[in-house]
Amino acid sequence: MKKEVTRSTIFELNGVPSFKQAFPLALQHVVAMIVGCVTPAILVAGVGGLSEKESVILIQAALIVSALSTLLQLFPIFRTKWLAIGSGLPVIMGVSFAYLPSMQSIASDFDIPTILGAQIVGGCVAILVGIFIKKIRRFFPPLIAGTVVFTIGLSLYPTAINYMAGGTGSPDYGSWQNWLVAIITLIIVTVLNHYGKGIWKLASILIGIIGGYIVALFFGMVDFTAISQASAFQLPMPLHFGVKFEVSSCVAIGLLFAINSIQAIGDFSATTSGGLNRMPSDNELQGGIVGYGITNILGALLGGLPTATYSQNVGIVATTKVVNRCVLGLAAVILLVAGLIPKFSSVLTTIPYCVLGGATVSVFASIAMTGMKLITSENMSYRNTSIVGLAAALGMGISQANGALATFPDWFVMIFGKSPVVIATLLAVLLNIILPKDKETPLEPAPADDK
pLDDT in tens, 89-137: 999 999 988 888 889 989 998 999 999 999 999 999 999 999 888 777 7
DSSP element (H, E) containing 308: strand 307-309
CB contact at 8 A, 335 and 68: no
Please say if the pLDDT value at position 281 is more than 60: yes
Helix (H, G, I), strand (E, B) or coil at 309: strand
Nearest residue to 140 (alpha-carbon basis) of 440, 434, 426: 426
Return the sign of the alpha-carbon dihedral for residues 64, 344, 341, 302. Answer: negative
Nearest residue to 262 (alpha-carbon basis) of 150, 353, 136: 136
pLDDT band at 445 (very low <50, low <70, confident <90, very high): low
pTM as predicted: 0.74
pLDDT in tens, 9-41: 767 888 788 888 888 888 878 877 787 788 899
CB contact at 8 A, 323 and 22: no
Please say if the pLDDT value at position 8 is more than 60: no
Q: What is the pLDDT of residue 63?
A: 92
State the DSSP code for 174: T
Please say if the pLDDT value at position 2 is more than 60: no
pLDDT band at 237 (very low <50, low <70, confident <90, very high): confident
CB contact at 8 A, 18 and 6: yes
pLDDT band at 371 (very low <50, low <70, confident <90, very high): confident
Helix (H, G, I), strand (E, B) or coil at 93: strand
Contacts of 361 (CB under 8 A, 6+ apart): 157, 160, 161, 164, 186
Instruction: Please tell me the distance from the alpha carbon of residue 243 to that of residue 260, in angstroms, as a whole number.
Output: 22
CB contact at 8 A, 252 and 419: yes
Give 307's strand partners: 95
DSSP element (H, E) containing 78: strand 78-79
pLDDT band at 252 (very low <50, low <70, confident <90, very high): confident
Mean of pLDDT values over 411-426: 78
Instruction: Please tell me the distance from the alpha carbon of residue 285 to that of residue 279, in angstroms, as a whole number.
Output: 10
Q: Concatenated DSSP letters for 11-46?
A: TSTT----HHHHHHHHHHHHHHHHHHHHHHHHHHHH
HSE of 252, CA atoms in CB hemisphere, 13 A:
30
Instruction: Please tell me the distance from the alpha carbon of residue 70 to that of residue 88, in angstroms, as a whole number.
Output: 10
Write down the H helix ranges in 16-141.
19-47, 52-74, 100-109, 112-131, 133-136
pLDDT in tens, 291-332: 999 999 999 999 999 998 887 677 677 767 788 899 899 999
State the DSSP code for 450: P
Instruction: Please tell me the distance from the alpha carbon of residue 257 to that of residue 263, in angstroms, as a whole number.
Output: 10
Q: Concatenated DSSP letters for 371-439?
A: HHHHHHTS---HHHHHHHHHHHHHHHHHHHSTTTTTTS-HHHHHHHTS-HHHHHHHHHHHHHHHSPP--
Interhelix angle for 100-109 vs 142-164, to 10°?
60
Nearest residue to 184 (alpha-carbon basis) of 212, 217, 165, 214: 212
Contacts of 88 (CB under 8 A, 6+ apart): 13, 73, 74, 75, 76, 79, 284, 287, 325
Q: What is the pLDDT of residue 4?
A: 46
